[in-house]
Every structure is written in C-alpha cells, then in structure tokens.
C-alpha cells in the first residue's frame, strides 16, 4: 500500500469512528423527513403519494451535496465509506435491497474513488402488507449514515420519518419529485442482455473480460468492481472493440492474494451514439 493510500485510509478510519460517536450540531435529532448536515442536505422520499395494501412501493433517501463534495458507491474504491440506511418500519412491511445508481470515478492524486457528486437518490422497493387498512396512515423511519468528502472527510447521520396515507387506486409521483424519480430509474443498471455472452481469463497484468454483443456495437466501455482489492482502481480498463464483440483488459490490485472465481461489478457500455448503458455482470475467470 502506498504512503498516500495509507494516509487516506487512516483519515477515512478516523472519520468512520466519528460517524458512530459524533453528536455535534448539524446531525439530525428530530423526526422530520429532511435535514441539513455539514455539506449535505438529505430527505426521505416516496415515489407514491399513497400506499396500496399488498403492493410494492418505492421509497428512498435523496442526498444533495455542496459543490466539490461527494458521497460513495457501494464499493467506495481506494477510500471512503458507502452510505447506509437502516429502515424502521411498521409490522408487516419489508424493505428490499438498495438500488444503487450508476457511479462515476472520482480521481484524487494517487487514489481513485467510486461515488457521486452533486446528488444521489438511493431507492429501495417497499413491500406493503395486505392487512393494511385503507383510510389509515403509516410512518416510515430511516436512520441514515454517510461519509461526505472533499479534501477532508466528514461523517454525517440523520433520523428521518415520513408519514404516508393508505388508499386503494393508482398513486402518482408527488409533483415536486416527478423528475427526481424519473432520473433515479433511468440511472439504474440492468442484467446483461440475454443475447450477450461473456467469458473471462487471467493475464499477466490481471484479467480480460470478453463480450459477444450480437447486433449491438459498443464503442467504449468502463468497469466498476463490486469487490474491493481485486482491481487496481487507478488503472483505466483497456478497451478493444469489434463488430459484434469487445473486450476489457483489467489490471489486478497489488493487494489481490489469489485469483477470484469470477469478476463481479458494474459494466458501463457506450454505443456509437454515446448512449450509456449499465449492466451488472459476474464473469467466471479461467
């Protein structure tokens, strides 16, 4: 591990410890659906104006960061810590896994992080119990922790609540959040297309991931590893394109001790019209 990486790791560790001990002003203490913390504004949101019994709704936490500050993806890269949400829900409710939007690579001298600038919407499907009575209302609660960074990292936490009525019918997106949820859904990754195939093999430098794309031509691609310490985050993938195929050369991390059974992560594919597609992949390595 390089000296710069060790220093950043220590600073991140200190910030993480503060995350669980800090009670300074600026951390939420009440029961609002929104709060302003240092360099971050956070809000608990629902895609639906009301909840239907025995259906699935979409809820989420929306972050807005001050210019120059960023939050982290589920694999933060060389440093940092991903936001976490603990849902506290009425009996019978169940929140499923967070849906992470496409991240970007944030380059800092000697480091590359994976995360989000400006804003982030972390959505989750919410299973609503069939026993819920119409005409009532329920209170959803989220305990949110995050690490926001610029030249320094500052931990934050908020306790947010949102009260939503229970009705039957076709709920709409709240007008103020229409574009927010449209953006959120448009920036989610999909499974690899069914007509694509993939395979991987080891190289002296790391791994080659090879994709057959059928009729679709890909002009460029990038990759975000899901597992830490597998790839060298600073090394850009080497793209080689073909008529109905492409490959990505990935450099392994100097912290990787053994060859993994597969390379998991987020593939960003860009077509000839500069349209960007995100795909979750798990490519076996031979």
In SS3 terms, 221-236 reads as EEEEECCCCCECCCCC
Mean pLDDT of 133-139: 93
Mean pLDDT of the chain: 89
Mean pLDDT of 8-34: 43
pLDDT bin (cut points 50, 70, 90) of residue 9 is: very low
pLDDT bin (cut points 50, 70, 90) of residue 16 is: very low
- Cα–Cα distances in Å, from 163 out to 63, 156, 159, 182, 187? 19, 23, 14, 22, 27
Mean pLDDT of 13-19: 39
> What confidence score (pLDDT) does residue 25 get?
28
> What confidence score (pLDDT) does residue 170 get?
87
pLDDT bin (cut points 50, 70, 90) of residue 109 is: confident
- pLDDT greater than 70 at residue 262: yes
Judge whether 244 and 282 are in contact, CB under 8 Å.
no
pLDDT bin (cut points 50, 70, 90) of residue 166 is: very high
> What confidence score (pLDDT) does residue 242 get?
85
**Mind giving me the DSSP string for 57-93?**
EEEEEEEEE-TT-EEEEEEEETS----EEEEE--TT-
In SS3 terms, 114-156 reads as EEEECEEEEEEEEECCCCCCCCCEEEEEEEEEEEEECCCEEEE
- pLDDT greater than 80 at residue 3: no
> What confidence score (pLDDT) does residue 214 get?
87
User: What domains does the chain contain, in order, with CATH numbers?
Assistant: 3-186 (2.60.40.10), 190-284 (2.60.40)
pLDDT bin (cut points 50, 70, 90) of residue 93 is: very high
Angle at the Cα of 215 from the Cα atoms of 211 and 221, rounded to 5 degrees: 40
**Collapsed DSSP state (helix, strand, coil) of residue 195:** coil
Cα gap 69→285, rounded to integer Å: 36
């Amino acid at each position: 591990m390089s000296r710069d990486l060790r220093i950043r790791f220590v600073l991140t560790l200190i910030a993480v410890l503060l995350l669980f001990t800090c009670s300074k002003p600026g951390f939420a203490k009440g029961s609002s659906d929104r709060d302003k913390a240092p360099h971050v504004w956070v809000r608990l949101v629902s895609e639906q104006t009301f909840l239907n019994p025995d259906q699935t709704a979409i809820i989420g936490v929306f972050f807005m960061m001050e210019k120059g500050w960023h939050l982290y993806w589920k694999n933060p890269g060389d440093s940092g810590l991903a936001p976490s949400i603990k849902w506290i829900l009425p009996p019978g409710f169940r929140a499923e896994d967070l849906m992470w939007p496409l991240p970007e690579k944030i380059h800092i001298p000697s480091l590359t992080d994976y995360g989000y600038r400006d804003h982030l919407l972390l959505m989750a499907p919410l299973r609503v119990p069939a026993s819920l009575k119409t005409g009532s209302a329920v209170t959803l609660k989220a305990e949110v922790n995050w690490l926001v960074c610029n030249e320094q990292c500052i931990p934050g936490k908020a306790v947010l609540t949102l009260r939503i009525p229970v009705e039957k019918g076709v709920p709409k997106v709240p007008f103020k959040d229409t574009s927010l949820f449209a953006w959120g859904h448009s920036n989610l990754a999909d499974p690899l297309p069914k007509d694509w195939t993939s395979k991987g093999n080891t190289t002296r430098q790391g791994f080659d991931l090879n994709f057959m794309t059928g009729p679709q031509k890909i002009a460029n691609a990038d990759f975000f590893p899901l597992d830490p310490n597998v790839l060298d985050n600073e090394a850009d993938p080497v793209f080689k394109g073909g008529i109905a195929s492409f490959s990505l050369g990935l450099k392994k991390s100097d912290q990787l001790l053994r060859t993994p059974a597969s390379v998991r992560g987020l593939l960003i594919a860009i077509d000839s019209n500069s349209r960007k597609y995100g795909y979750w992949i798990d490519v076996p390595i031979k």
